[in-house]
């Protein structure tokens, strides 16, 4: 897919050059004591087609842009440097957040320009971030997965703060305020169609490699609050055993319908989902649940039957966010990888593991995350499971800064060369 940038590869001297968002080059020493067997965990043909991704988050400027209101030239330069870092780290995919909150990082006829670009919702930034990202990623041999949040409207609870032309302002009956934030109501068929239309506009315009969703379906539970969808349930919930079953069906419909529409809009584009890593605990479902005691279960709390989507073959890949260290009591990475491996077996759905690079070296995290080798151990462990086809790192800012060298250790231990993604 065009010329691949050669900047930042491991040199004969064993150093890896990375790039700060501001463009300053810096050199990080490669680790001198790789973990265990330092050869790639996957061998031969499997290693030659391995997903190596990073999430590039834009909500609240998490990774990019570094500040709202930068010039178009500065924003573009920062974005391209992230793509160059992905190449330097021998990754092959970037998961770029292009609809962080009912807005757009492309000229959408459905929703306003994102406020994270200019500081003002609806203001044209003077360039096309998604179009640029697709073109430039492909020129570097990277896949570009367009990351959308289906139902989040705003990270505040005041509808009047949205611009007057915003679809949520024009259709206030679509919106539920919950936990100090605004969400589209997944129980309304007109909402489900609208969010699909808004997302698929990007697929129609650009040769993206995948549509990607993360873990936000129904919102995470807020103690003492109820998601106010009673009227929608009364109107559309007939025949369901419970409101929970109806809510799960709403999300199932979104997944199935979007998957089908993608095939008509641009055949070959994949649908991938990155859920919270625990479907159900064994205490909740002794037959099918994982040996965990997590405080959130996607099936029961987010109304997202992530296991069911895989078993039905509705999606092309799944990236469970296994953001816990090996040995974590409530949710052990070493218990969840084999559980997910068994879930995808025989389905044709690709399994990639979401990795918590952001935790490495964070003083607020447990001792395991102060060891730069923790993530490398993850890849070594996951490599024992035939259905694990790769990993995705959260997130791009930490891929650049690499606080304690955890990413450099992964590259040295597991990524000796660049490889294609497993398409």
Report the pLDDT value the prediction gives residue 330, as an integer from 0 to 100.
98
* pLDDT tens per residue across span 242-285: 999 999 999 999 999 999 999 999 999 999 999 999 999 999 99
For residue 159, the SS3 value is helix
Say what the pLDDT of residue 4 is: 26
Backbone angles phi and psi of 402, in degrees to 5 = 45, 65
CA nearest neighbour of 296 among 276, 272, 323: 276
Tokens read off for 225:
């609050």
* Axis-axis angle for helices 406-414, 374-382 (nearest 10): 30
Q: What are the backbone dihedrals phi and psi of residue 81, each rounded to the nearest 5 degrees, phi first?
A: -65, -35
Q: Is 251 helix (H, G, I), strand (E, B) or coil?
A: helix
Q: Give the residue-averaged pLDDT of 83-105.
A: 98
If one compares 421 and 276, the residue with the highest pLDDT of the two is: 276
Within-domain flag for 299: yes
Residue 95 belongs to some domain of the structure: yes
pLDDT in tens, 348-389: 999 999 999 999 999 999 999 999 999 999 999 999 999 999
Distance CA 409, CA 373 (A): 7
pLDDT at 62: 97
3-state secondary structure of 112: coil
- CATH of residue 42: 3.20.20
63 occurs within a structural domain = yes
For residue 262, tell me if it sits in a domain: no
Q: How many angstroms separate the CA atoms of 205 and 149, rounded?
A: 18
Give the mean pLDDT of the chain.
Answer: 91
Domain count, the chain: 1
At 2 the pLDDT is: 33
* 379-to-107, 302, 376, 384, 405 alpha-carbon distances in Å: 39, 28, 5, 9, 15
Q: Which helix (H) or strand (E) holds 29?
A: strand 25-29
The residues with which 52 forms a beta bridge, in sequence order, are 391
Domain membership flag for residue 10: no
Asked whether the predicted pLDDT for residue 3 surpasses 70, the reply is no
pLDDT of 49? 81
Residue 108 lies in a domain: yes
Per-residue pLDDT, 409:
98
Location of structure tokens 């003083």: 363
pLDDT band at 48 (very low <50, low <70, confident <90, very high): low
DSSP state of 299: I
The reported pLDDT for the residue numbered 383 is: 98
pLDDT digits (tens, 9 = 90+) for 213-230: 999 999 999 999 999 999
pLDDT tens digits along 291-341: 999 999 999 999 999 999 999 999 999 999 999 999 999 999 999 999 999
388-393 and 51-56 as β-strands: parallel, antiparallel, unpaired?
A: parallel
Containing structural domain, residue 340: 15-147+204-213+267-414
């Amino acid at each position: 897919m065009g010329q691949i940038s050669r900047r930042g590869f491991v040199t004969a001297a064993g150093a890896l050059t990375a790039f700060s968002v501001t463009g300053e080059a810096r050199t990080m020493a490669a680790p001198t004591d790789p973990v265990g067997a330092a050869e790639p965990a996957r061998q031969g043909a499997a290693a030659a087609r391995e997903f190596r991704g990073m999430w590039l988050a834009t909500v609240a400027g998490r990774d990019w842009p570094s500040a709202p209101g930068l010039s178009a030239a500065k924003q573009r330069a920062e974005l391209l440097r992230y793509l160059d870092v992905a190449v330097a780290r021998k990754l092959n995919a970037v998961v770029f957040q292009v609809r962080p909150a009912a807005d757009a990082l492309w000229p959408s006829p459905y929703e306003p320009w994102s406020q994270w670009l200019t500081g003002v919702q609806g203001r044209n930034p003077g360039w096309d971030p998604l179009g640029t990202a697709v073109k430039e990623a492909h020129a570097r041999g990277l896949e570009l997965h367009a990351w959308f949040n289906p139902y989040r409207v705003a990270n505040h609870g005041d509808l009047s703060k949205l611009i007057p032309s915003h679809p949520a302002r024009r259709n206030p009956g679509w919106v539920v305020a919950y936990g100090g934030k605004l969400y589209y109501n997944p129980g309304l068929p007109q909402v489900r169609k609208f969010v699909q239309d808004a997302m698929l506009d990007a697929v129609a315009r650009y040769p993206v490699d995948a549509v990607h969703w993360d873990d936000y379906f129904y919102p995470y539970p807020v103690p003492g609050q109820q998601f106010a969808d009673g009227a929608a349930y009364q109107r559309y919930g007939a025949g369901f055993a419970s409101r929970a079953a109806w809510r799960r069906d709403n999300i199932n419909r979104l997944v199935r319908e979007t998957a089908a529409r993608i095939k008509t809009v641009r055949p070959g584009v994949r649908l991938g989902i990155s859920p919270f890593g625990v479907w159900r605990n064994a205490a909740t479902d002794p037959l099918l649940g994982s040996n965990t005691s997590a405080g959130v279960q996607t099936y029961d709390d987010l109304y997202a039957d992530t296991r069911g989507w895989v078993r039905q073959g509705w999606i092309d890949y799944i990236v469970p966010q296994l953001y816990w260290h090996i040995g974590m009591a409530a949710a052990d990475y070493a218990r969840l990888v084999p559980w997910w491996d068994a879930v995808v077996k025989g389905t044709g759905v690709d399994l990639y593991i979401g990795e918590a690079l952001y935790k490495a070296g964070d003083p607020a995290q447990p001792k395991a995350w102060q060891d730069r080798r923790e993530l490398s151990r993850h890849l070594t462990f996951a490599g024992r499971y035939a259905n694990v086809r790769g990993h995705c790192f959260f997130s791009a800012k930490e891929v650049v800064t690499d606080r304690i060298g955890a990413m450099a250790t992964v590259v040295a231990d597991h990524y000796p060369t660049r490889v294609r993604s497993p398409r």
